[in-house]
Structure 1
Amino acid sequence: MAFRVSAITLDLDDTLWPFAPIGARVEQVLDDWLRRHCPRTAERYPIPAMRRLREQVFAERPDLAHDFSQLRRLSLVRAMETAGDDPVHATTAFDVFYAERNRVEFYADSEPALARLAARVPVAALSNGNADLAVIGIDHHFAFQLGAREHGAAKPDAGLFHAACGRLGLEPMQVLHVGDDIELDVRGAQRAGLRSCWINREGARWPHPERPDLEFTTLAALADWLDAAHAMETNAA
C-alpha cells in the first residue's frame, strides 16, 4: 500500500527492544539492592512476593494506571513500611530500578532503521512505559517523547495519539503510528484516525477484520518501505 507519511509516532518497548529481559533484570537488581540495604524488606518480599505486592498496588490505584514510575515507588514504600524498613530508602531503590530499566538491548535492526526513519520524517516516541530516551542515548533521533504519564492517559486512549499529532502540527491521517501491540498500538491508532503499522516480529496472526495499513517483521523493512515511497514521490514530481 502506498500513501504519504508526514511523521511517525513510535512505540518503544517490544518495538525497538524486547522488554522481557529488562523486566527480569530489574527484579533481580532491585532484589540484590534490597538484600544489602533493606534486608527485612528483601526477606519478606522476595521476587515473587514483591511482584504480587506490586500487582496489588496497581489494582488498588487504577487512577495511576498510566504512571508506572509512581506505582513502582508506591509499591516500594508499601513493602518497606510493612517489613519494618525505613521507607526513605524507596527513592534510592527506585533510582536503582530505573537505571537498570533504561539499560536496553536493541533488536539488531532497530537503531540503524530508526536513524533512517528519522532522516526521512519527524519521529515522536509514544509510549505507555517509562523509558528515558536521553539516558538510553537515542533522543537525538526523536522530535519529542510523549508518555502516558505526562499525558495522563495511556494507549489506546485516542487523546494520547491526538496530543502527539497536535505537537507535530499534523492531522491524524498524516501520521503513521508504529508499534508491536495489536490493541494498544495498532487498534488504538486506527480508532484515533492515524495510519497504522504493525511490527510483527513473532509472525503472529492478525485477529481483526480491519487490518493495519502496513505490517512488517522488522523496523528495517518499514525503513525500506519509506525509502521506496519517498523515491516514488520524487520520481512523480
Structure 2
Amino acid sequence: MLTTVVFDADETLIDLRPAVDAGLRVVLAEMRRLTPAADEVSFADIAGDWDAVYADLVDEPVMRIRRAALARSLARVGLTDELDRMAELFFARRFALSRPFDDALPMLGTLRRSYVLGFATNGNSRADRCGLAAEFSFEVYAHVRGVPKKPSPAFFAAVLAEAGVAPSSVVHVGDSPDKDVQAAQEAGLRGVWLNRDGLPRPPGLRPDAEVRSLAELPSVLERWQYS
C-alpha cells in the first residue's frame, strides 16, 4: 500500500530558473558598476560559468558549486576579491524570488489528506525559504548529516529512514530521469517522471508513471491504490 510521496525540489516543486537568472543579473549589474571591463561580459557568459565548473564539482554541495561559478565570472574582470559579497548578493536574490510552480501547492494540499509527504533534494532550496514551509512531514538534504547526493543509494536510504516505511510504500516524484526516477526505482521505490516540457523519454527509462503537470499526480496515485 502506498503511504508516502516524496518530492524533488528544484524544477519539480520549485520554479528555480527565474530566481537563479535574477540572482545572476544582480551580480552582473554590480560587476559593471565596479569596472568598465564587465561591460564586455554578457549574461550568457556568467550563466555558462556554472556549466564550466559543474563537471569537476558535481558531488560537492550546490552552494560550493555556485561560488566556484561566481569566482570564474569575477575572474573575467579581476574582481575575485569580491566573491563573498557577490555570493551574498546572488543568494539573497535567488532565495527572495524562489517560489513553487503554480501546480505545486494545490497538489500538495490534495495529497496531504491521504499521504505522508516528504521533500528530498540535492540542492540548497530549503523548503521554508522557497514558499513551502510546513508542507512536509520530513525533509532530506544532500550533504546534511552525511547524506550524499542522488543518485546514490544512500540518499534513498536516508529518505526511507525518515519515512519509516518499506520502499514499496513510497513514491518518488522528480524531473530528472536518472536521479529521480531510475535511482529511486533501483532503491525499491516507485518513480514518477515529471516531464513538464514533453521531452522524449530517454532510452531505457521506464517510469512507473509520467506526468506533464503535478496536477495529474493525485489521479495517478489513486489509480495505483485501487489497481
Aligned match of 1:39: 35
Displacement, 1:10? 0.5
Q: In the superposition, relative to structure 1, how do residues 91 and 143 fare at CA in structure 2: closer, same or farther (>3 Å)?
A: farther
Displacement, 1:164? 0.9
- Contact 2:177 2:205 (8 Å CA) reproduced: no
- How many pairs align? 225
Give the unaligned 5+ runs of structure 2.
Answer: none
- Contact 2:147 2:158 (8 Å CA) reproduced: no
Please say which of residues 72-81 and 187-196 is displaced more in the overlay: 72-81
Alignment of 1:40-189 (within 5 A): 42-43=38-39, 45-59=41-55, 61-62=56-57, 65-77=59-71, 79-80=73-74, 83-85=77-79, 87=81, 89-102=82-95, 103-150=97-144, 151-189=146-184
Displacement, 1:26? 2.4
TM-score by length of structure 1 reads: 0.79
Q: Percent identity?
A: 28
Measure the CA separation in 2 of the matches of 1:115 and 1:90.
40
For residues 150-194 of structure 1, what are the alpha-carbon distances to aligned partners after superposition, in whole Å with 9 as ceiling and x for unaligned?
245322222111111112112222211001221121111111211
Q: In the superposition, relative to structure 1, how do residues 83 and 197 fare at CA in structure 2: closer, same or farther (>3 Å)?
A: same
Measure the CA separation in 2 of the matches of 1:196 and 1:208.
16
Partner letter of residue 153 of structure 2?
A: A
Displacement, 1:82? 6.9
TM-score by length of structure 2 reads: 0.82
Q: CA RMSD in A?
A: 2.9
Q: In the superposition, relative to structure 1, how do residues 41 and 6 fare at CA in structure 2: closer, same or farther (>3 Å)?
A: farther
- Contact 1:30 1:93 (8 Å CA) reproduced: yes
Partner SS, residue 193 of structure 1: coil
Pair 1:193 & 2:188 matched: yes
Measure the CA separation in 2 of the matches of 1:124 and 1:54.
28
Give the unaligned 5+ runs of structure 1.
Answer: none
Aligned match of 1:211: 206
Greater share of residues in helix = 1
Measure the CA separation in 1 of the matches of 2:36 and 2:140.
38
Displacement, 1:138? 0.9
Aligned match of 2:12: 15
Measure the CA separation in 2 of the matches of 1:178 and 1:71.
24
For residues 34-70 of structure 1, what are the alpha-carbon distances to aligned partners after superposition, in whole Å with 9 as ceiling and x for unaligned?
334x4378457543443454444434x43x6341201
Q: In the superposition, relative to structure 1, how do residues 41 and 134 fare at CA in structure 2: closer, same or farther (>3 Å)?
A: farther
Q: In the superposition, relative to structure 1, how do residues 90 and 153 fare at CA in structure 2: closer, same or farther (>3 Å)?
A: same
Partner letter of residue 14 of structure 1?
A: E
Partner letter of residue 162 of structure 1?
A: A
Aligned match of 1:26: 23
Partner SS, residue 124 of structure 1: strand
